Chain A
């Protein structure tokens, strides 16, 4: 689906293909109780949000639970019927959408993809200081661990945590500017890549 078609579609709620009434999620028509496939819709569409970084967490959860109640396999027959299959796939897509949108880092990553930015597979670059910092921190951690130096390990942990928090904050600032200019997207891509290095370090600790 082209970006313009996407925008146009978002301007008005998706209408039910069976009864033509507007739906709160493209997955289910609460009026005629019809399930619809998720094909062609992104995570934001499924939960009825504009593609933007800032999202009201409570509202996101409210909508997620509402649509879940509507489409969950517990509600739509257990036999091998078409509606059971739609309910199963739709729920899987919805759960994925909620998982991504409820996590600020995953949401930034996903939004970058939606606005046409590069994926982590296409651009793995990070700012040069990230690599040096990561390598130094890793060495320090290994040494402290070998020496059994808990105090140093704790300090390392704090430092990495701080780097992680700073980068996460920067990601938020950049993601709010999306779709943004090419340099914004590039910096966001690098920050998202960097935060994964810090995440891995935190897992080691």
Chain B
């Protein structure tokens, strides 16, 4: 390990999660005592005795007890993170744990009467990986690059970053999984490392495919150095599907387009088998399989059948239905393929869309790389070969390549590889809701990030001090068909007559693909002071609290949150009014000035005495109205002042 700061790379997967780091010899996945790099993305909650706190189990241990403990075993949390209950309604029948609606459109998992956010559950996985890395490297790990599906939207990215923070990690970058995979291939590190270590042999949980030893590294100056290479990364994992098209030249990895589905992956293939078996058991025995324990057992069983069918033409199933009855069946590979064919075709439709967006044909691709455990399915490989007109490429272990890429990006961020650069895109268009529920597009999908757009807004009512913006992500024309990133509220506008304020709002998407909204009022020259309050997902305070408290105690407190917001707003308005009084107060008649000063003192008292929040809200509104005249004087003064304020 060199002297540079240590940043690990984490692949936080639907089914498995991995942690890796990179040194001079390349990226290394950190393995457990059995030589397995994979940590099942599963946590279990074991109830504590009496007043004891519940105990949390993670990984293989939690997975091994999933059947006994179906309601308290949480798996596939990645499919729920950054989502509302309404978003995942179709998912719910397949889960064995309970999901509830939380405040501000969040979702929570309920176990033994306690509520857990998906961020908290993901944080447990991340903390376990962090500790694994610390044990292996024998030094503290505080920073990480975490990968997400390329098609994750803003809310899902934010939630993932929050989970990292809650696990005590500074998330220095969110990287897209297919892009990370391309990085791992592009460095050609495998040449220096020799053959890949066998994956998971001791536990025989999955079978590593033989990995060809020689391949042409991407991104290196090859025969056509200036042309660059066009590479498609087809990433079909446990719960999500991504396709990214990259142009790689002179060590620059530029994503040209991406498409995907955050609810399409191995889980869905298991479910086709679950549906098949459930139906047949009901028809043959009149037994319905819906007890959580049975469903959990069936889930694990179908996953095993699926894996077996990737290696053998058929698989035997035996299910003990109690009272000596057994459901026995041989499932043919062809049968399974017929069941998942439609899902595979969906991935190809998305592949075609990504190619269209990149203005390419399959024949123009230099190479097609397969990533993710589900690409072991023979049908996937066959259809890919047919679609692309050539054999797809899988030199590296498809389950570890994303973590390796994350470790390489971490090394780039730490200052290694100064020639390498990763240019990614925003996967979904960003817009705002306009009059009549339409969407005004601000940033189009597949725009290189960082990117930005600005838009002007004004007020409709005299003295209006706040503007609400509904920010949307998606490709559809109507707001109701897009994903709302929440209503952003611009607060703290100086009260002015309707239509006078000119508020410039900047939408800035950073290198993580996360949106940052900022605003400034141009008329008064006030650049700072406008607060932006997103009303979705966890607040910063909540993330910090999760990080500080043990998971079992985490609880939402919306009232406290609202109180803090309101009290801050009171402090802000009061200070603003005081400044205005000091500057132009002499222009008011003494009686009005006295009244404002009295109101100001009363408002501060009310905020300090921890009052009823609705009352405080009303008082704040009334104060805004009673100081309107003063504010107008202040603005006229500012407008007449030196220097014209305008936009370039």
Question: Which residues of A line the B interface, CB within 8 A?
Answer: 39-40, 58, 65, 68-69, 72-75, 78, 88-89, 91-93, 95-96, 98-99
Q: How far is the CA of A164 from the CA of B230 in the complex (A)?
A: 27
Contacts of A91 in B (CB 8 A): 450, 511
Contacts of B418 in A (CB 8 A): 69, 75
Contact of B450 among A58, A88, A98 (CB under 8 A): A88
Inter-chain contact A65/B250, CB cutoff 8 Å: yes
Contact of A95 among B419, B421, B451 (CB under 8 A): B451
Contacts of B331 in A (CB 8 A): none
| A98 closest partner in B (C-beta) | B448
Chain B interfacial residues counted at CB < 8 A: 24
A73-B510 CB under 8 A given contacts A78-B172, A95-B448 = yes
Contacts of B448 in A (CB 8 A): 95, 98-99
Q: How far is the CA of A65 from the CA of B252 in the complex (A)?
A: 8
Inter-chain contact B252/A68, CB cutoff 8 Å: yes
Q: How far is the CA of A58 from the CA of B413 in the complex (A)?
A: 28
Q: How far is the CA of A91 from the CA of B511 in the complex (A)?
A: 9
| Chain B proximity of A86: nearest CB distance (Å) | 12
CB within 8 Å of A: which B163-195 residues:
170, 172-173
| Chain A proximity of B430: nearest CB distance (Å) | 13
Question: Which residues of B line the A interface, CB within 8 A?
Answer: 170, 172-173, 226, 250, 252, 412-413, 418-419, 421-423, 447-452, 508-511, 648
Q: How far is the CA of A74 from the CA of B648 in the complex (A)?
A: 28
Q: How far is the CA of A84 from the CA of B36 in the complex (A)?
A: 38
Contacts of A88 in B (CB 8 A): 450, 508, 510-511
Contacts of A96 in B (CB 8 A): 451-452
Q: How far is the CA of A96 from the CA of B450 in the complex (A)?
A: 9
| B506 closest partner in A (C-beta) | A89
Q: Can you spell out 21 A-B residue pairs with CB atoms less than 8 angstroms apart?
A: A65-B250, A65-B421, A68-B252, A68-B421, A69-B419, A69-B421, A72-B421, A73-B510, A78-B170, A78-B172, A89-B508, A91-B450, A92-B450, A92-B451, A92-B452, A92-B508, A93-B452, A95-B448, A95-B449, A95-B450, A99-B448
| Chain B proximity of A105: nearest CB distance (Å) | 14
Inter-chain contact A89/B511, CB cutoff 8 Å: no
Which of A89, A92, A98 has the most C-beta atoms of chain B within 10 angstroms of its own C-beta? A92
Once A and B bind, how many residue pairs between them come within 8 Å at the CB atom? 57
Contacts of B412 in A (CB 8 A): 74
Q: How far is the CA of A91 from the CA of B452 in the complex (A)?
A: 10
Inter-chain contact B423/A68, CB cutoff 8 Å: yes
| Chain B proximity of A168: nearest CB distance (Å) | 15
Contacts of B447 in A (CB 8 A): 95, 99
Q: How far is the CA of A88 from the CA of B250 in the complex (A)?
A: 23
Q: How far is the CA of A146 from the CA of B421 in the complex (A)?
A: 49
| Chain B proximity of A204: nearest CB distance (Å) | 14
A72-B648 CB under 8 A given contacts A92-B451, A96-B451, A96-B452 = no
Contact of B511 among A40, A58, A69, A73 (CB under 8 A): A73
Contacts of B451 in A (CB 8 A): 92, 95-96
Inter-chain contact A74/B422, CB cutoff 8 Å: yes
Inter-chain contact B648/A73, CB cutoff 8 Å: no
| B417 closest partner in A (C-beta) | A74
| Chain A proximity of B612: nearest CB distance (Å) | 36
Q: How far is the CA of A89 from the CA of B423 in the complex (A)?
A: 15
Q: How far is the CA of A89 from the CA of B451 in the complex (A)?
A: 8
Contacts of B421 in A (CB 8 A): 65, 68-69, 72, 74
Q: How far is the CA of A78 from the CA of B510 in the complex (A)?
A: 11
| Chain B proximity of A160: nearest CB distance (Å) | 17
Give 8 nearest A-B pairs by CB, closest first: A92-B452, A92-B450, A95-B448, A73-B511, A91-B450, A78-B172, A92-B451, A69-B421
Inter-chain contact B413/A74, CB cutoff 8 Å: yes
Contacts of B508 in A (CB 8 A): 88-89, 92
Contacts of A68 in B (CB 8 A): 252, 421, 423
Inter-chain contact B452/A78, CB cutoff 8 Å: no
| Chain A proximity of B506: nearest CB distance (Å) | 9
Q: How far is the CA of A22 from the CA of B226 in the complex (A)?
A: 28
| Chain B proximity of A114: nearest CB distance (Å) | 13
Q: How far is the CA of A131 from the CA of B250 in the complex (A)?
A: 46
Contacts of B449 in A (CB 8 A): 92, 95
Contacts of A98 in B (CB 8 A): 448
Contacts of A75 in B (CB 8 A): 418
Q: How far is the CA of A72 from the CA of B449 in the complex (A)?
A: 10
| A61 closest partner in B (C-beta) | B249
Inter-chain contact B450/A73, CB cutoff 8 Å: yes
Contacts of A92 in B (CB 8 A): 449-452, 508-509
Q: How far is the CA of A95 from the CA of B448 in the complex (A)?
A: 6
